[in-house]
Structure 1
Amino acid sequence: MSAVIPAAAKARHPREAGAAPAVVCLCDAVASLGGRPVLRGVDLKVRPGEVVALLGANGSGKSTTVKSVIGAVPLERGGLELFGTPFAKFRAWHRIGYVPQRTTAAGGVPATVREVVSTGRLPQHGLFPFRRKDRAAVDRALAQVGMLDRAEDGVAGLSGGQHQRVLIARALVGSPELLIMDEPMAGVDVTSQQVLADTLRQEVGRGAAVLLVLHELGPLEPLIDRTVVLRDGCVAYDGPPIPSTGQHALPGHDHVHPHEDDHLTTPGLLA
């Protein structure tokens, strides 16, 4: 049984172009990993309130694209603006929530669920101690993903789907205006898929923009405004979602989903 988002969830109106700057504007992006060219001139725009899904076969550049957006992979050529500000001048990282490909939530460091989620408040006001409103924000984020009852548990004892929910809560704790998620559905249980679907519906409902890397649209399809399909580091399609289109339907898909570069550091966000 898959998570289902009601069609009514699409009853919203992303702001028209020109009313506000795009939250992401990536232009002619060229980037390499380990000396290997990965992005070969990618153009990507995400507007306020819009939900955009990046699709493509393995090695097409999906994860590298979002890591370029958050600064984890530097551009060799091209331009990047966040909320209308050139990347080199952008400092408002609290406006962005990032969920990396599924990995151990604390990176092998002993920590509780609450401690991991609390790190998501650091871009707002720096180091601890936390204030009362910070703790309240952590509680809200944990409740949103159904993990408040596990707040004091160690993350080492969580299942894979629960780890993913902790990472989502960490991204949500700052009430971001842009939520970036890299393969959030990969390898998680049905319960966690439902939590993700419900969480995204709530975030979209409050006006957040969302950029997702997906293998296929699946149960999130009713929320998607645009799909951008990458092939060999270039944009092969940018437009309305095509039903039943996803990585599995694209040429060259090998049905293997390695998680590349899970541990790249991120200048503005905790990866």
Structure 2
Amino acid sequence: MQLRRESTATPAKRVPMVESVVRVSGGVVAFGGRPILHGVDLDVRRGEVMALLGANGSGKSTLVRALVGLVPLSAGQVELFGTPLPRFRDWHRVGYVPQRASAAAGVPATVREVVASGRLSRLPWWRPASRHDREAVERALETVGLAHRARDSVAKLSGGQQQRVLIARALAGEPEVLLLDEPTAGVDLPSQQAFADTLRTLIGVGTTILLVSHELGPLEPLIERAVVLRDGRVVHDGPPPSPVGHHAHPEHTHVHPHGARSEAGWFL
């Protein structure tokens, strides 16, 4: 009878895999036959804080809009939480704040009413708001520092405050990943610093964040990874590169429009 020998080898330690929240494989976007994105690959992992950087016209906003299905891919694939975009239905898991949107939208509404609309993706049409829904709205208002303005009309808020209302609306849905397209463009330095405080709170609770920006400013210390686009292609993926030119000045704030290659910022 052959005796069975027990192995003395130490079993290999299994390294846990970090879940991919957003993935783009070979993403191509073209408008009117003109290519905007050229075979972009991107993988955002759970809990990551990533900035998507580049000059105006580099394809940043196009890429983010493709992630939520607002821009169709000509080739390649987008996956959210491991599910191909055409089959994805759990939109309450994704918070999206578009570029240069207005919270007022010409409709009289209070700050709380706008933020509460962020719960609609979780509410069946027949069910009234619950205590949990109301608490989620209050938490979102507190996170962006606007709880004291909850009853005010959004039309009376500054541009930076309206941007924070839109972020609160996205947060009210309790998303697992937050996609922010140029959230600090056109707002003053105090508003940028207030937004940085908001991000710091979200990072503390493990929210995955993908932030589109021309430059980071006060947000730079919070960013773990930066992907830089140039002419629709990824040219950098790693630690945030250092800004150059007058963008590197500590008091520089991005509140002015740029042409496609008019500034020496993250583009270089």
Alignment match, 1:19 = 17
Structure 2: distance between partners of 1:254 and 1:17: 46
Choose 21-30 or 104-113, whichever is displaced more: 104-113
Amino acid aligned to 1:227 = A
Alignment match, 1:253 = 261
Q: Deviations over 1:185-215 (max 9, x none)?
A: 1111233212211111111111111101111
Gap regions ≥5 residues in structure 2: 1-13, 249-259
1:96, 1:179 within 8 Å by CA — same for their partners in 2?
A: yes
Alignment match, 1:96 = 94
Amino acid aligned to 1:110 = P
CA RMSD of aligned residues (A): 2.4
1:41, 1:234 within 8 Å by CA — same for their partners in 2?
A: yes
Which one of 32, 39, 58 corresponds to residue 37 of structure 2?
39
Task: Report the secondary structure of 1:23's partner residue.
Answer: strand
Choose 79-88 or 119-128, whichever is displaced more: 119-128
Higher relative contact order (CA 8 A, sep 6+): 1
Amino acid aligned to 2:103 = A
Task: Report the secondary structure of 1:134's partner residue.
Answer: helix
Structure 2: distance between partners of 1:246 and 1:27: 34
2:29, 2:35 within 8 Å by CA — same for their partners in 1?
A: yes
The structure 1 segments of at least 4 consecutive aligned residues displaced by more than 6 Å after TM superposition are none
Aligned residues: 240
Amino acid aligned to 1:178 = V
Alignment match, 1:169 = 168
Structure 2: distance between partners of 1:96 and 1:123: 10
Alignment match, 1:65 = 63
Alignment match, 1:75 = 73
2:56, 2:261 within 8 Å by CA — same for their partners in 1?
A: yes
Gap regions ≥5 residues in structure 1: 1-15, 257-271
- TM-score for the superposition, normalised by structure 2: 0.82
2:54, 2:214 within 8 Å by CA — same for their partners in 1?
A: yes
Structure 1: distance between partners of 2:86 and 2:161: 35
Alignment match, 1:126 = 124
Amino acid aligned to 2:165 = V
- The verdict on how the C-alpha distance between 1:247 and 1:23 changes in structure 2, with shifts beyond 3 A counting, is farther
1:57, 1:247 within 8 Å by CA — same for their partners in 2?
A: no
2:123, 2:129 within 8 Å by CA — same for their partners in 1?
A: no
- The verdict on how the C-alpha distance between 1:34 and 1:172 changes in structure 2, with shifts beyond 3 A counting, is farther
Alignment match, 2:82 = 84
Q: Which has the larger radius of gyration?
A: 2
Task: Report the secondary structure of 1:75's partner residue.
Answer: coil
Report the Cα offset of residue 253 of structure 1. 2.9
Amino acid aligned to 2:205 = R
Report the Cα offset of residue 93 of structure 1. 0.9
Structure 2: distance between partners of 1:33 and 1:247: 33
Amino acid aligned to 1:53 = A
2:80, 2:88 within 8 Å by CA — same for their partners in 1?
A: yes
Alignment match, 2:239 = 240
Choose 58-67 or 125-134, whichever is displaced more: 125-134
- The verdict on how the C-alpha distance between 1:166 and 1:219 changes in structure 2, with shifts beyond 3 A counting, is same
Aligned: 1:113 with 2:121 = no
- TM-score for the superposition, normalised by structure 1: 0.82
